[in-house]
């Protein structure tokens, strides 16, 4: 059967997820849109679709990107397809009846244009009841500082996907120290090349391995801080 003739509805769950990994790899946004909707219709939770179909698909793309099998234009298409799925999941992940439990300003740091992980963290935090102010990509220290002043959040969140951009997180934290405002905020950092030790070394409050952990950590730290106050 050719790609055009393939009816995704005829596939069982396992086949569909595999097909979605292929479609993500091939940057087929429309197919990812359809596949995401089918899985949700089959009573998959938004988190299951996200983890098993989309994030796993992007992990495979990342391996071939690293190995020089895929190049930037293809990976951009894959990212675009991933975003098509995320757009459907967003309202489901962000569904919450609760009042806002806190505010976070979040951005991908200067020099870095990767935003899929940061967007996911934003969605999960919205789902956990946070108001999210997203500064986007390539965010410099001035932009972070202006947003902190304007929005007075509980949390500053920074994302970096490159070993060359992760040190910029320290630039931001050091600037907060210099201005005497570091302790006014919980600082969460994350991104594929980071780890716990790095988070500690740059003076972040916490490193978060993934979006779900970011949401849990954010909630816990805000509650602790309120309790202490």
What is the contact surface with ligand B1M in residues (CB under 6 A)?
Answer: 55, 58-59, 61-62, 65-66, 72, 75-76, 79, 106, 111-118, 120-121, 157-159, 161-163, 188-193, 208, 210-211, 214
- Least distance (Å) from ligand B1M to the CB of residue 75? 4
Q: Based on CB atoms, which residue is closest to ligand B1M, 35 or 117?
A: 117
Contact (CB, 8 A) for 124 and 173: no
Cβ density class 122-145: b for 16+ within 10 Å, e for less? bbbbbbbbbebbbbebebbbebbb
Which secondary structure element, helix H or strand E, spans residue 204, and what is its range? none
Q: Based on CB atoms, which residue is closest to ligand B1M, 41 or 223?
A: 223
- Least distance (Å) from ligand B1M to the CB of residue 2? 28
- Least distance (Å) from ligand B1M to the CB of residue 16? 20
Q: Based on CB atoms, which residue is closest to ligand B1M, 6 or 223?
A: 223
d(CA 40, CA 19): 16
Q: Could you tell me where the beta strands, DSSP code E, fall in the chain? A: 102-108, 130-134, 155-159, 186-190, 206-207
In the chain, DSSP finds a helix count (H) and a strand count (E) of 10, 5
Q: Based on CB atoms, which residue is closest to ligand B1M, 61 or 222?
A: 61
- Least distance (Å) from ligand B1M to the CB of residue 168? 11
Q: In what order do the strands lie in the sheet with 130-134?
A: 130-134, 102-108, 155-159, 186-190, 206-207
Q: Based on CB atoms, which residue is closest to ligand B1M, 111 or 167?
A: 111
- Least distance (Å) from ligand B1M to the CB of residue 12? 26
């Amino acid at each position: 059967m050719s790609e055009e003739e393939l009816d995704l509805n005829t596939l069982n769950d396992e086949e569909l997820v595999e097909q979605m990994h292929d479609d993500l790899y091939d940057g087929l946004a429309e197919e990812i849109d359809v596949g995401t909707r089918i899985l949700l219709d089959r009573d998959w939770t938004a988190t299951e679709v996200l983890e098993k179909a989309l994030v796993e698909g992007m992990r495979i793309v990342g391996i071939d990107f690293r190995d020089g099998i895929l190049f930037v234009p293809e990976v951009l298409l894959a990212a675009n397809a991933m975003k098509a799925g995320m757009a459907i999941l967003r309202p489901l992940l962000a569904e919450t009846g609760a009042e806002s439990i806190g505010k976070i300003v979040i951005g991908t740091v200067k020099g870095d244009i990767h935003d899929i992980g940061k967007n996911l963290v934003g969605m999960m935090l919205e789902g956990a009841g946070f108001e999210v102010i997203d500064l986007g990509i390539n965010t410099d220290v001035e932009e972070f500082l202006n947003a902190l002043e304007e929005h007075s959040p509980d949390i500053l969140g920074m994302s970096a996907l490159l070993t060359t951009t992760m040190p910029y997180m320290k630039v931001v934290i050091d600037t907060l120290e210099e201005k005497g405002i570091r302790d006014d905020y919980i600082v969460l950092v994350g991104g594929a090349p980071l780890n716990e030790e790095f988070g500690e070394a740059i003076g972040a409050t916490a490193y978060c391995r993934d979006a779900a952990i970011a949401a849990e950590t954010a909630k816990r730290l805000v509650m602790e801080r309120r309790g202490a106050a």
